[in-house]
Amino acid sequence: MPEKEGRLVTEMIHTSGLVKRFGNVEALRGLDLDVPQGTVLGLLGPNGAGKTTAVRILTTLLEPDGGMATVAGIDVVAQPDKVRERIGLSGQNAAVDEYLTGYENLEMVGRLYHLGARRSRARARELLERFELDDAGDRPAKTYSGGMRRRLDLAAALVAEPEVLFLDEPTTGLDPRSRTQMWDTIRELVRGGSTALLTTQYMDEADRLADDIVVIDRGQMIAHGHPDELKARIGGERVEVVLADSAQIPATKVVLAELSVGEIRVEEETCTVTAAVTRGVDILREVLEALKDRAIAVDDVGLRRPTLDDVFLSLTGHAAEEATSQSDGRRAGRDEAKEKEVVR
């Protein structure tokens, strides 16, 4: 990341041994995080993993039962007011006042942050425009759609141009276009020197935005690294062949055995055979020729690189979007909904 080279790297978010209990539920069991200035940390984990709890502690809404946390070098328990001056939060429990208009919501936040009347008004207008809410700016927020509320909530988090941003599932419920806009906004903020902690259920979002990823499950870190490192850890690329007729699975296995480097997997229901390979596109051509020589009819063939979805699945035992909300952390263990990304 060249734009980050040469910049003084300071930890803008730091936690060590963070513990939080709710009755007999241990929501956080000794969480350690470090987020350097000007980077985005993607905090991933199945439902109930403890992501929102971590965000709430870091944004001073909740006190930890153990361990410590600092934001911009300030202890969140000792000096919560000071921390609040430096942060913006766009949360799962949006802090939008339903009865105020979009404009009034933003202006009020500006006043709360002591921006002064003129600056608050200007900032409100600027942000309404940026999030394409200017037409709806004079309507009460209760008339907004879910996506508009999300955008207003993020706009509110940005009013005071905070150094550290906490974004708890910022794009859940947004349409693809709004998601892309949100990503652009977050990228722009980080390029400008802001630091962000982002939780998300969308692996592509983490892949695009995060410099570093921490996967947590049941309140503990289970993996940490750059998205590419995590993908590399679970294995390389695979050739995936979707057959027209399941009777040809055995013959396909024979063909792939000659060309692949590892275990061959068969998914009967979808007539899919996959095999680990090393030579990328070249091997695709060879596979196609070999199948044609043996008159094996193919519906689809592709090269599949591991995605963050695969990483998530392999680490937690279930896909992000089908994670259970059970607080005891029992696993869903279903894998039929595995997401496929076939390069055609």
Ligand X SMILES: Nc1ncnc2c1ncn2[C@@H]1O[C@H](COP(=O)(O)OP(=O)(O)OP(=O)(O)O)[C@@H](O)[C@H]1O
Q: How far apart are the first and last CA of the chain?
A: 30
Residue 24's binding partner, choosing from Mg ion, ligand X, none, with beta-carbon cut-off 5 to 8 A by kind?
none
45 makes contact with ligand X (CB under 6 A): yes
Residue 45's binding partner, choosing from ligand X, Mg ion, none, with beta-carbon cut-off 5 to 8 A by kind?
ligand X
Residue 58's binding partner, choosing from ligand X, Mg ion, none, with beta-carbon cut-off 5 to 8 A by kind?
none
Question: Could you tell me the smallest distance in angstroms from the CB atom of residue 50 to ligand X?
Answer: 4
Question: Which of residues 36, 38, 42, 48 is near ligand X by CB under 6 A?
Answer: 48
52 makes contact with ligand X (CB under 6 A): yes
Q: For Mg ion, which residue has the nearest CB?
A: 52
Question: Which of residues 36, 38, 42, 50 is near ligand X by CB under 6 A?
Answer: 50
Mask for 85-124, x = binds ligand X (CB under 6 A): -------x--------------------------------
Question: Which of residues 15, 37, 39, 47 is near ligand X by CB under 6 A?
Answer: 47
Question: Which of residues 22, 117, 191, 250 is near ligand X by CB under 6 A?
Answer: 22
51 makes contact with ligand X (CB under 6 A): yes
Question: Which of residues 49, 106, 158, 223 is near ligand X by CB under 6 A?
Answer: 49
327 makes contact with ligand X (CB under 6 A): yes
Question: Could you tell me the smallest distance in angstroms from the CB atom of residue 196 to ligand X?
Answer: 17
Q: Which residues bind Mg ion (CB under 5 A)?
A: 51-52
Residue 255: partners with Cβ closer than 8 Å, 6 or more residues away? 287, 290, 291, 294, 296
C-alpha torsion 198→200→202→207, nearest 10: 30
Residue 66: partners with Cβ closer than 8 Å, 6 or more residues away? 17, 18, 19, 20, 30
Token duo for residue 81? 């007011």
Mask for 23-42, x = binds ligand X (CB under 6 A): --x-x---------------
From CA 21, how far away is CA 45, in angstroms rounded?
Answer: 18
Question: Could you tell me the smallest distance in angstroms from the CB atom of residue 209 to ligand X?
Answer: 17
Q: Which among 46-54, 69-77, 251-259, 306-314 is the span making contact with ligand X, rule CB under 6 A?
A: 46-54
Tell me if 333 sits within 8 A of 317, measured CB to CB. yes
Residue 50's binding partner, choosing from Mg ion, ligand X, none, with beta-carbon cut-off 5 to 8 A by kind?
ligand X
Q: Where do contacts with ligand X occur on this chain (CB under 6 A)?
A: 22, 25, 27, 45, 47-53, 92, 325, 327
